[in-house]
Copies of this chain bind each other. A is one copy, B any other.
Amino acid sequence: MEYYSNQINRLVEELSGLPGIGSKSAQRLAFHILNMPKENVEKLSSAIINARSNVRYCKECFTLTDEEICPICKNTNRNHKVIMVVENTRDLAAYEKTQKFEGVYHVLHGAISPMLGIGPSDIRLKELMQRLQQEVDEVIIATNSSLEGETTAMYISKLIKPTGIKVTRIASGVPVGGDLEYIDEVTLLRALEGRTEL
């Protein structure tokens, strides 16, 4: 792209390296940034660099945080004997938004995927097993309902069962507000299998 000057090209290139941002969106974003007040651009740029340099893993649950122990693990009002296992920090945030889960989390940072060469030792499984040496009542596996998520859930449940700790899996079925007509067969079958008595 020689139509723009060097600095603009560099910006467009850097932006289009981000996920979900193609060359058109990158151009739109670049020109928006060029027209932003200078102090806002500085804020954006420093937010990027600060977040990346200060963020680390919580020593307890391995979520991304900027403190040694994340606010959730620090909170003594939460039930530390119920651990929900999620694939990443965004999934943790999704459950936190419900404001109903009172336990704590364990973030795996991935899921087992033979296709991508991600094995059990590449995710935070060893750390989960270490946590289970303390008193734990229940481990809720909330990995995604994908092939990788299911594989990981199966693997974890097999690992934990011998310890005698209760292991559960979040329900899979028709989403609330979902129209049966537009839902795939696998989900419909899951919903049928998981039916509960009224």
Contacts and interface: CB of A to CB of B under 8 A. Distances in A.
Contacts of A31: 64, 88-90
Count identical subunits in the complex. Answer: 2
Interface range, A side: 35 or more
A42 B45 CA distance: 9
Interface in A55-70: 55, 64-67, 70
Given A28-B90, A93-B27, A50 B10 contact: yes
A33 B21 CA distance: 13
Interface of A: 1-8, 10-11, 13-15, 17-21, 25, 27-34, 36, 38, 40-55, 64-67, 70-71, 88-90, 92-93, 96-97
